[in-house]
A and B are shown apart, each in its own frame.
Chain A
Amino acid sequence: MRLPVYRQADGVRRPVARVASRVPAALAALAALAGLGTLPALAPAGAAASARAAGGSRSSRVTITLYNGQHPETTSALVAAFEKRTGIRVVVRDGDEDQLADEILEEGGSSPADVFYSENSPALEDLQSHGLLAKVWASTLEEVPRRYDSPEGDWVGVSARVSGFVYNTRLLSRSQLPRSVLDLASPRYEGKLALAPTETDFQPVVTAVERAVGHEKALRWLEGLKRNAGSHVYPDDETLTAAVNSGQVAIGVVNDYYWYRLRYDLGAPRMRSVFAYFAPRDPGYVVDVSGAAVLRSSRHRRAAEELLAFLVSREGEQILAHSQSYEYPLGSGVGTAQPIRPFDELRPDPVTIAELGEGRAALALLQQAQVL
């Protein structure tokens, strides 16, 4: 009996005292928890965040922004390796190369982009002509054969593909195949041809044809393609390749890597199509160069140049060579590891980067033929 009474009597103060005595202890425990457990865990994340926010004022955590017009999967593998090697953080903005180039033009001298990585040279040449690109380090340019770099040294070639045609093996026999891209305008291909006029990979072919046969003939050729294609006009080479493979349409001009990627994703047994090359030096047989540039407005030029150097280094090009992007590496003498026709066995049209230019003539031609 005494014990409860004692407790009862004491009860008025006791809880207060208990709480009061516990407050410092709790505070101490909290502080210990914060000091020993939480703070160290938070510190690196906080530092990283502040470095990101400040745009990388500390040399160890510089952050650069990459406007990526290349295929996102290819780029993310390259970026991950670069970040690991250099400690430089890369924020990637994915998009269509033309759209990103437009954005950079709009942003002008204060673009958030440090590096622009494009699928084709015309987008880079367009920025170059507006004076928005910085000179690439000479040591970087030296890793790549001269004719695949910017003629002015404003961007560096990283990888290449080649154009040819994809055809459905059930809809066309070998004897029906074209020798030249010019044949595709013939009435033989009426209702059989697929066209992707808005695909950026198609413009270099138009430029090469115009260079080979002149404006008038090129215009009539395009009109023939438009007639033959009819309703088979596709938004891009990916869709076009899949359409040929599924038998919607018989034949179309594409870059080789779309067909290889489709085969990778679908599996060889489900391929009903084949990629083939035009005759040597045909204007439909064009090497397209994918390249990268540092923006003149970049505030982290050194880190940006390091990314370019990495892309054409042995390590960077090896990633490309072994990836499922099926492109030809251009830098450091690395050859592709994929079972595609070796780069030095290609016999493309001799059209140069400078002749491909910004693609304006090709565009005017496409508009004149009312394909666009």
Chain B
Amino acid sequence: MTLTFERQAPEQRPFPGPGGRRPRARGRVRARRAERRPWLAFASLAVVGLVLLPLAFLLLQAANSGWSEVWRLLWRHLTLTLLSNTLQLAVVVTAASAVIGTGAAWATERTGLPARRAFGALVVLPVAIPDFVVASGWVSLFPSLHGLLGASIVLTLGLYPLVYLPVAASLRSSDPAQEEVARSLGLGPWRTFFRVTLHQVRAALLGGCLLVALYLLAEFGAFSILRFQTFTTEIYAEIQVGFDPAAGAALSLVLVVLGLAVLAGEWAASNGSRGSRAALSSARPRPPVRARLGRGTLPALASMGLLVALGVGVPVGAIVYWLVSYTRTTLPGAASLASAAWHTFAYSAAAAALASLLALPVAILSVRRRGRLSLALERAGMLVQAVPGLVVALSLVYFSVRYARFAYQSAALLVVAYSLMFFPLALVAARASLARVPPRLEEIGRSLGRRPVLVLLRVTVPLVLPGLLAGFFLVFLTATTELVATLLLVPNGVQTLATQFWAYSSDLAYGAAAPFAAVMLAVAVVPTYLLGRWFDRLPSRLARTA
């Protein structure tokens, strides 16, 4: 089939190929692939270099403050407490998110759960609710909630969508035939789940867990409210109170080391399962036969309901509670709400677009040209997720003040900051959807004599567009809730929803702060709905492309 296509190509081509290139045989195609590598690798190198800018800043700052000062801060009993807190939390939350995310994905994708479409949209929503709103909500309801337990509950409820999204997508695109075969061979539903389904979604599950673990390392807002000390809260304390960004930045190096450990762990666990994904994608998925829940319907409904009530209900309830109970505060004007909402929307959308664009070459390189370089670049790109937002923002302040003064305090720099911070989200989404596109289609494009760039624009991008869009929305949603980097980098005189919420809540005026949190949620609902719709239509798209 492919060969016929190639032979027909010269006659069918309406325009001569650029530079009058002749159509070539398969051997030449391989040569072209090698030719293309430097371009792709160069672009990826540039992107990862940009993403790693905060790490360069850390090393510079640590060297500036002197390694003896770094040792003085690290060589304390407190460090041990922080390390143990951080590790315990990472293990608990990652495990809990894995179980909840996978369970919820299985329930919405593989069972006859009533109202599963609505649940599919609702369970994603927590990722779009700011951590400080969620944590404040929980503390309003349960004033004694704190420490490891509090942090675990709040963070799990906020982060499980990062597991749910890739696992649900993977379930959608994987062939249900395998499960059906397993069932027909006499395996029960549970054993089928553990021996077949779980294996199919393994890569997606591990990818989601990786994001959760890295995200946890850098989390700040929720921990400070829940009184749980981690490396990140300590870094903030040093920088905020210490007039000493150098010491705080030096401490961040510990987080980078922890991030490297997490990445290495994920790599070790996922090694070997990577190859199976492309093979799966060539199968033609069709709607699965959904497991009938029977007597399990009620418990399943109850647990999904509980998940939504806790993840979405509590923060929404908190917003309502603030509006009702802090009545003495005058409410903010509609103009300031609208202006803050517009800026939040514009910055987040621009950042999401930039992050998706940056992720594309790295994703292509890591999926299509597997090798040491591409692996190293992809992993390095993920590392920034473990760096606290404050440090990313400080690094951009540092570099822009010295080397790009014109960009300092510009909207563009804030957009760059967001897209660096959330680059891993875009990378994971792009990578996942690219892995499902058969390379054959690109080979056909090249065999028609198209330039690699044209193949990229006219074949690859349209095919991975849904995945890029999913990444776009994920970055968008996360960026709308960002506070710390925004405070440092926002243009003078501009307010976003998050900074306004912060400004009022730091005056204890929760009544005035609540509308900004409410608008933040409203801004998030549309992308979440679209994200859910995209996942709904995934099988038919794949059927068309495969």
Are A and B co-members of a single complex? yes
Residues of A at under 8 Å CB distance from B? Answer: 65, 71-73, 91-96, 98-99, 101-103, 105-108, 110, 112, 123, 126, 197-198, 200, 203, 231-236, 238-239, 241-243, 246-248, 258, 261-262, 264-267, 270, 358-360, 363, 366-367, 370, 372
**Nearest-neighbor residue (CB-CB) of A73 within chain B:** B507
Name 26 A/B residue pairs within 8 A (Cβ), A-sorted.
Answer: A65-B493, A72-B504, A72-B506, A72-B507, A94-B495, A94-B499, A94-B503, A98-B243, A106-B398, A106-B401, A112-B409, A238-B506, A238-B507, A238-B508, A242-B508, A261-B507, A265-B511, A266-B326, A267-B327, A359-B243, A363-B241, A363-B243, A366-B241, A372-B234, A372-B241, A372-B242
Q: How far is the CA of A123 from the CA of B245 in the complex (A)?
A: 14
Chain A CB within 8 A of B77 CB: yes
Residue pair B507, A71 in contact (C-beta under 8 Å) = yes
Q: Is B143 a contact partner of A243 (Cβ separation < 8 A)?
A: yes
- Of B227, B329, B487, B490, the residue contacting A265 (CB under 8 A) is B329
Give A199 to B397 CA distance when docked, in angstroms.
24
CB distance from B358 to the nearest CB of A (A): 26
A96 touches B243 (CB 8 A): no
What are the 8 tightest A-B residue pairs by CB atom distance, in nearest-first order? A91-B493, A235-B224, A72-B503, A370-B78, A248-B143, A198-B237, A246-B143, A93-B492
Q: Are A247 and B143 in contact (CB under 8 A)?
A: yes
Complex contact A198–B328 (CB within 8 A): no
Q: A372, B238: Cβ atoms under 8 Å?
A: yes
Q: Knowing that A94-B503, A265-B508 touch, tell me 16 more A-B residue pairs with CB under 8 angstroms.
A: A72-B503, A72-B507, A73-B504, A96-B487, A99-B488, A110-B405, A126-B243, A232-B227, A238-B508, A241-B508, A246-B143, A266-B326, A270-B325, A363-B243, A370-B76, A372-B238
B225: Cβ under 8 A from any A Cβ: yes
Q: Is B215 an interface residue (CB 8 A)?
A: no
Would you give the 0/1 interface string for B26-37, flagging 1 where the beta carbon is closer than 8 Å to chain A?
000000000000
A170 to chain B, nearest CB (A): 13
Residues of A with C-beta under 8 A to B490: 93
* Distance between Cα atoms of A197 and B238 in the complex (Å): 11
Which chain B residues border A239 with CB–CB below 8 Å? Answer: 225
Nearest-neighbour CB distance to chain B for A94, whole angstroms, equals: 6
Residues of B within 8 A of A96 (CB): 240, 487
Give, as a whole number of angstroms, the nearest-CB distance from B406 to chain A. 12
Instruction: Considering the complex, give the chain B residue whose CB is closest to the CB of A108.
Output: B401
Chain A residues, CB < 8 A from B473: none
Q: Are A95 and B487 in contact (CB under 8 A)?
A: yes
Bound complex: CA A65 to CA B408 (Å): 15
Q: Are A198 and B240 in contact (CB under 8 A)?
A: yes
Residues of B57-92 contacting chain A, CB below 8 A: 73, 76-78
Most chain A CB within 10 A, of B143, B240, B329, B504, is at B240
Distance A198 CA – B242 CA, assembled complex (angstroms): 9
CB distance from B54 to the nearest CB of A (A): 15
- Cβ of A265: which chain B residues have Cβ within 8 Å of it? 326, 328-329, 508-511
Q: How far is the CA of A98 from the CA of B76 in the complex (A)?
A: 25
B324 to chain A, nearest CB (A): 12
Tell whether, in the assembled complex, residue A233 and residue B227 are in contact, meaning their CB atoms are under 8 Å apart: yes
A239's nearest neighbour on chain B, judged by CB, is B225
A98 CA to B146 CA, complexed, in Å: 27
Residue of A198, A233, A261, A366 most packed against chain B (CB within 10 A): A198
B305 in contact (CB, < 8 A): no
Q: Is B12 engaged at the interface, CB distance under 8 Å to the other chain? A: no
Complex CA–CA separation, A246 to B140 (angstroms): 9
Of chain A, the residue at the smallest CB distance from B78 is A370
What's the count of A-B pairs with C-beta under 8 Å? 119
Task: Verify B508–A65 contact, CB threshold 8 A.
Answer: no
Q: Which residue of chain A has its CB nearest to the CB of B512? A: A73
Complex Cα distance, B229 from A258, in Å, reads 24
Q: Report the bound CA distance from A103 to B281 in whole Å.
A: 50
Q: What CA separation (Å) do A133 and B388 show in the bound complex?
A: 31
Taking a contact as CB atoms under 8 Å apart, the answer to whether B508 and A262 are in contact is yes
Asked if A98 and B508 sit within 8 Å, CB to CB, the answer is no
A90 to chain B, nearest CB (A): 9
Rounded to whole angstroms, the CA-CA distance of A107 and B511 in the bound complex is 36
Main secondary structure of the interface of A (DSSP, over half): helix
Within 8 Å by CB of B243, from A91, A102, A270, lies A102
Question: How many residues of B are counted as interface, with CB atoms below 8 angstroms from the partner's CB atoms?
Answer: 49
Interface mask (B116-158 → A, CB under 8 Å = 1, otherwise 0) = 0000000000000000000000000001101100000000000
A242 to B146, CA, bound (A): 15
The answer to whether residues A372 and B147 also contact, given A242-B508, A267-B328 and a CB cut-off of 8 A, is: no
Select B325's contact among A65, A71, A108, A266, beta carbons within 8 Å.
A266
Query: Once bound together, how far apart are the Cα atoms of A197 and B229, in whole Å?
Result: 12
Could you tell me which residues of chain B, from 464 to 516, have a CB within 8 Å of some CB in chain A?
487-488, 490, 492-493, 495, 499, 503-511
Residues of A within 8 A of B144 (CB): 248
The reply to whether B143 and A73 contact each other, CB–CB distance below 8 Å, is: no
Q: Which of A94, A95, A112, A242 has the most CB of B within 10 A?
A: A94
With a cutoff of 8 Å between Cβ atoms, the chain A residues found around residue B326 in the complex are: 265-266
Check A370 against B507 for contact (C-beta < 8 Å): no
Closest to B244 in A: A363
Q: Is the C-beta of B239 less than 8 angstroms from some C-beta in chain A?
A: yes
Q: How far is the CA of A46 from the CA of B325 in the complex (A)?
A: 43
Residue of B nearest to A98 (CB): B240
> Contact flags (1/0) for B526-544 with A, using CB distance below 8 Å?
0000000000000000000
Interface presence of B160 (CB below 8 A): no
Contact B243 A358, beta carbon cutoff 8 Å? yes
Cβ of B236 under 8 Å from chain A: yes
Whether the pair B243, A99 counts as a contact (CB closer than 8 A) is no
CA distance A247 to B143 in the complex (A): 8
- Which of A73, A102, A235 meets B245, CB within 8 Å? A102
Given contact pairs A102-B245, A106-B401, A264 touches B143 in the complex (Cβ within 8 A) = no
Chain B residues with CB under 8 A of A270: 325
A234 touches B227 (CB 8 A): yes
Closest residue of chain A to B79 (Cβ to Cβ) is: A370
Residue of B nearest to A200 (CB): B241
Residues 207-241 of B contacting A (Cβ, < 8 Å):
224-225, 227, 229, 234, 236-241
Q: With A198-B236, A372-B237 as given contacts, are A231 and B146 in contact (CB-CB < 8 Å)?
A: yes
What residue in chain A is nearest B238 (Cβ atoms)?
A372
Given known pairs A265-B326, A372-B241, the reply for A233 and B229 (CB within 8 Å) is: yes
State which residues 8-54 of B face A: CB under 8 Å.
none
- The distance from the CB of B85 to the nearest CB of chain A, in whole angstroms, is 11
Residue of B nearest to A126 (CB): B243
Q: Report the minimum CB–CB distance from A119 to chain B (whole Å).
A: 11
Taking a contact as CB atoms closer than 8 A, the residue among B147, B408, B492 that contacts A91 in the complex is: B492
| Chain B nearest Cβ from A326, distance in angstroms | 11
Q: How far is the CA of A358 from the CA of B241 in the complex (A)?
A: 11
Contact with A along B294-326 (1 / 0, CB 8 A): 000000000000000000000000000000011
A92 to B503, CA, bound (A): 12
Residues of A within 8 A of B499 (CB): 94
- The answer, among A92, A101, A258, for a CB contact under 8 Å with B508, is A258
Residue of B whose beta carbon sits closest to that of A199 = B241
B contact residues around A266 at 8 Å (CB)? 325-326, 328
CB-based contact A93/B493 at 8 Å: yes
